[in-house]
Structure 1
Amino acid sequence: MMTGLAHRQAAAPQGAGRQVEVCVLRRAPTTLPDVRHWARVQFEAWHVPADALQEAELVFSELVSNVVLHGYGDVVSCRIEAGAADLHIEIREHVVREGAHTAAPPPDTRSDDEHGRGLLLVEALSSDWGVAPTLPGPDGCRRVWARIGLADR
C-alpha cells in the first residue's frame, strides 16, 4: 500500500503506442520508497528490458530524490512515459513561493565526497536530460526530465 503518495492516476496514452502514468506526492522524504516502488512497478508492467529497467530506476530515483530532498515546493508530480523507442521521466516541483524557482548552483564535489554526483549519473545514463524552471504561481513549477533510449536493446 502506498501510504506516502497523495494519489496516483493513470494518464491517457499519448500518441501511437505510448503509455503514461502520473503520481502526485507530498514533498517529504518518507514518500520516496513508495514513489520508487510505484515507478518500478510501472516500468515492469511496460516490459522495459532489464538493462534499461535498472537505468530507469536509477535515473528516476536520482531525479525524484533531488526534488524531494532539496526542493522548495510542497507537492511533487512524477510522470513516466514509455514508447517503443524511449522512456521519458519527468519530475515537477510545484512552486508557489516567490523566489523559490531559482535553481541552486551545482555542488562543488570533491573526489572523496559521498554525495553530489546524482546529476552526473543522470547524464551518464540518459540519452538526454534537462531542467526547465518556470515562474511561481498557482500553476508554476520547476521540472527536471530525462529520456532513456530503448531502440537498440
Structure 2
Amino acid sequence: MAYTIDRHPCEESPRLGVMILPLVAESVPRARRWFRKFITPYAPACSLDDCVLLLSELVTNAVLHGRQDGKPEVVRVEWFREGTTLRVEVHNPGPPADVRLRCPDSDDPHGRGLPLVDAIADSWHAGPSRFGGTVVSFEMTDAWPV
C-alpha cells in the first residue's frame, strides 16, 4: 500500500509533494524512485543524487528504527520549497529520543546514515513529528536560484 500526492509546480503551496509508504524495506527504493520523479519538474539546482542518497538513508532509518506499538506502520515523506531552500522531511511512528548521531567503528556495518546526512546536507533536524512519532529532515540551501 502506498499513497502519493504530487503538486503541480505552479501551485502556491511550499509543499511540493508527499509520499506515505508502508514501514517495510521495499519502501526505500520506492521512495528514491518517486522522489526523483516528483522533484524533477521543479528543476532544483542542487544535486538530486545527493538528495536521493539522504532520503534513502532517512527512510532506511525509519524502517529499521521507527516502529512503535499501537501506531500505524507508515513512513511519511514530504518535501518543501521555502525560498531557495529544499527541505525534505521523513516522519515515522517511533520515539524521537531514539534519533542520535553516531560515530561507528570502521568494522561496524551500521550507523552511517546520519553522519552522511550531516556531511552532505546544509542542515538537518530531528525531533517530534506533527503527526506523532519522529521527524528527521534535511535542507539543501540554494536549491533554486533567487
Shared fold (TM-score, shorter chain, > 0.5): yes
Q: 2:114 maps to which residue? A: 119
**Counterpart Cα distance in 2 of 1:94 and 1:67:** 8
Query: What is the aligned counterpart of 1:147 among 108, 115, 139?
Result: 139
**Counterpart Cα distance in 1 of 2:111 and 2:136:** 16
The 8 Å contact of residues 79 and 86 in structure 2, kept in 1 or not, is answered as yes
Q: 2:87 maps to which residue? A: 88
Superposition CA RMSD, Å = 2.6
What is the percentage of aligned positions where both structures have the same residue? 28
The 8 Å contact of residues 129 and 147 in structure 1, kept in 2 or not, is answered as yes
Q: How far does the alpha carbon of each residue in 1:14-48 deviate from its partner, in whole angstroms, 9 at most, with x for none?
A: 2xxx4510010110112221111001112222112
For the pair 1:109 / 2:104, whether they are aligned, the reply is yes
Q: How far does the alpha carbon of each residue in 1:32-81 deviate from its partner, in whole angstroms, 9 at most, with x for none?
A: 211110011122221123x5212111111111111012211411110012
- Partner AA of 1:44 in structure 2: T
Report how many residues are paired.
138
What runs of 5+ residues in structure 1 fail to find an aligned partner? Answer: none
How far did 1:133 drift?
Answer: 2.5
- Partner AA of 2:27 in structure 1: T
How far did 1:82 drift?
Answer: 2.8
Q: 2:24 maps to which residue? A: 28
Query: What is the aligned counterpart of 1:66 among 53, 56, 61?
Result: 61
* Residue pairs, 1:128-147, within 5 angstroms: 128-133=123-128, 139-147=131-139
- CA distance change for structure 1 residues 113 and 47 in 2, over 3 Å: closer, same or farther? same
What runs of 5+ residues in structure 2 fail to find an aligned partner? Answer: none
- CA distance change for structure 1 residues 13 and 60 in 2, over 3 Å: closer, same or farther? farther
Q: Secondary structure at the match of 1:44?
A: helix
**Counterpart Cα distance in 2 of 1:127 and 1:94:** 25
Q: 2:77 maps to which residue? A: 78
TM-score (norm 2): 0.79
